Amino acid sequence: MEERRGTVSSKGIIILGAGGHAKVVIEAIEASGDNAAYCIGSCGTSTTLLNVPILPDESHLDRLRAEGYQRAFIAIGASSVRERLGNLVVGKGFNLVTVIHPKAWVSPSAQVGNGVVIMAGAMINACAVIGDLAIINTGATVDHDCTIGRAAHIAPQCGIAGSVTVGSGSMLGVGTKVIPGITIGKNATIGAGSVVVRNIPEGALAMGVPARITVRSTS
DSSP-derived secondary structure for 124-171: E-TT-EE-TT-EE-TT-EE-TT-EE-TT-EE-TT-EE-TT-EE-TT-E
User: Is 144 among the catalytic positions?
Assistant: yes
Of all helices (H) and strands (E), which one includes residue 28?
helix 20-31
Calculate the CA 196 to chain-centre distance. Answer: 22
Closest C-alpha among 169, 196, 207, 200 to residue 185: 200
Catalytic residue among 21, 60, 101, 144: 144
- Catalytic (active-site) positions: 144
